[in-house]
Amino acid sequence: MHAALRALLNSAVDDGVILANPAAKLGRQLKLVTPALARQEQINAMTRGQLTHFLAVTTKTASRFYELFLLLGRTGLRLGEALALEWADIDVQSREIRVARAFSAGKIETPKSGHGRTVDMSRQLAATLGHLQIERTAETLKQGWKEMPPWVFCT
């Protein structure tokens, strides 16, 4: 949870919404950050119930990020991989996502593994991303843009 909060606040700093990330050193101060070796042993995915609750709260408090959080929760993609997704990487009909790049240190690179991979989507995620694509297409027409931005998650 701390890492997600820190990542969101880093984005807010990058967007100029806030000057500094108040959660940047919070982990060390509250002793939330454990050594890397111990951290690897402690990593646990959210349970289905925890993810459902988290997404329900997200719709009320951070609805702008719901699709991103749903994608992260349902696929296990890294944050940088999710942020580097383009619409061409999403196949709603086949319910597959091609992970071909990652956003890291302000630039687009290959994923951490060094090569791409294909990830399955749940029906819920496919429907949600399909709806998001329709919303983006409508926004593109409304704004009079020549083409829709290629990025799935953009500001």
CB 6 within 8 A of CB 21: yes
Among the listed residues 143, 85, 137, the one whose alpha carbon sits nearest the alpha carbon of residue 111: 85
Domains and CATH numbers, the chain: 1-44 (no CATH), 52-155 (1.10.443.10)
Cα 109 from Cα 136, distance rounded (Å): 25
Report the predicted TM-score, pTM, of the whole model to 2 decimal places: 0.70
- Per-residue pLDDT tens over the stretch 39-76: 566 667 888 899 999 999 999 998 999 999 999 999 99
Checking if the pLDDT of 38 tops 90, the result is no
Cα 129 from Cα 70, distance rounded (Å): 10
